[in-house]
Amino acid sequence: MSYSTADSFRPVTLDDVRGAQKMLSGVARVTAMESSRHLSQTVGAPVHLKCENLQRTGSFKLRGAYVRIAGLLPEERAAGVVAASAGNHAQGVALASSLLGVRSTVFMPKGAPLPKVSATREYGAEVRLHGQVVDETLAAAQEYAAETGAVFIHPFDHPDIIAGQGTVGLEILEQCPEVRTILVGVGGGGLAAGIAVAVKSVRPDVRIVGVQAAGAAAYPPSLAAGRPVTFENPATMADGIKVGRPGDVPFGIVGELVDEVRTVSEDELSAALLLCLERAKLVVEPAGASPVAALLSEPGAFEGPVVAVLSGGNVDPVLMERVLRHGMAAQGRYLAVRLRLTDRPGALATLLGALSVVDANVLDVSHVRTDPRLGLTEAEVELHLETKGPAHCAEVGQALREAGYTVIG
């Protein structure tokens, strides 16, 4: 399975996906399909999680990268490959190249998380840090390809990549043959396009729903325009689907075969990640949790059985901590409050005593005495509290006000 540049828009067929599945036998894992009792109760129908977060390299990206590189001509392999990525695609290309004995160079942004940089190197790639954003990194990789003759491995905009990602769809049909709805995160569109080709060719009755972060939702305006358009300044915690423009190749497939593309908020993403961790005991990155976020945002909108594709689990620990706090806050389980009190001995202890009465767990305290906004005898305290939900948050605020404290935020 190999395509020239001129042939890069060749349609992706079910036979291509089945060929990719044979090629990936013994390379990519057939990842688990886990049922979720909590989500099933929420949706009112069986919900299953397709755990690509447990794939080798931590995401589905290995599938497409391996198929693409395996399909290169001998002279192309000899020239090596180059890619640009902040994480998942980088690791997929690095491992696939090592397995196939092909030299790989991966450009990553200077601010890429250290664990992802280290993992990419350990999988065998030469890593070059360039640029502050992925667009700059992408330009550097393409320039390197032009100068050296290395083959540029695009993360989603190639038929081989789409065929490889489509093997996820074949596995879903094998593991959950009664599936009625599949939810999948969408960035450039390679995974959604591949799944759509595989599933719709066999089961055209299955509804396929793409999910994008609202802050990086390039597909809805592109589908409305009938062509890929650029979403300016995409911003989302879900870096795995933070893509400003749909890929030309997957766009045509998504437009034809994907039934709907929905968007989810940052609050919904963080709540979904928290749910995966607490209820399913699965570490999932924000992009991978986007299908769960869609289920939580409108649970009655999906006919079951439902399969939600958890596309990746590569999340930086620092980001994980921030996202978990964000998710707890979105669920009313984390409260940050600022207030003023009289600056005298024992005042802070009295405040903490008032909080203990309403059973609020104090996680952090910041105490400011020197600020031009404060009076001579005033101090400002910022508290970070673990709470039990929105009603408990309201109870805490009411208790503070009744105790005579001025809550300012």
Task: Label each residue of 191-248 as H, E or C.
Answer: HHHHHHHHHHHHCCCCEEEEEEEHHHCCHHHHHHHCCCCCCCCCCCCCHHHCCCCCCH
Taking residues 28-32, what's their average pLDDT?
A: 97
For 152, residues 6+ apart whose C-beta sits below 8 A from its C-beta are: 81, 82, 83, 141, 142, 145
Predicted pLDDT of residue 396: 80
- Model-level pTM? 0.84
Taking residues 62-81, what's their average pLDDT?
A: 97
**For the chain, how big is the Rg over CA atoms in Å?**
24
**Would the pLDDT of 340 be above 90?**
no
Considering 50, 61, 200, 242, which one is annotated as catalytic?
61
**Would the pLDDT of 296 be above 80?**
yes
Predicted pLDDT of residue 1: 43
**Would the pLDDT of 165 be above 90?**
yes
Query: For all residues of the chain together, what is the average pLDDT?
Result: 89
Element of type H or E holding 134: helix 134-148
Instruction: Give me the DSSP letters along 318-364.
Output: HHHHHHHHHHHHHTT-EEEEEEEEE-STTHHHHHHHHHHHTTPEEEE
Distance, in Å, from the CA atom of 310 to the CA atom of 60, rounded to the nearest integer, reads 9
pLDDT digits (tens, 9 = 90+) for 94-131: 999 999 999 999 999 887 778 888 999 999 999 999 98
Residue 61 a catalytic site member? yes
Taking residues 250-254, what's their average pLDDT?
A: 96
| DSSP state at residue 103 | -
Predicted pLDDT of residue 394: 81
Q: Which two tokens stand for residue 378?
A: 């005033």
Considering 36, 59, 97, 311, which one is annotated as catalytic?
311
**Would the pLDDT of 193 be above 60?**
yes
Taking residues 26-55, what's their average pLDDT?
A: 96
Predicted pLDDT of residue 171: 98
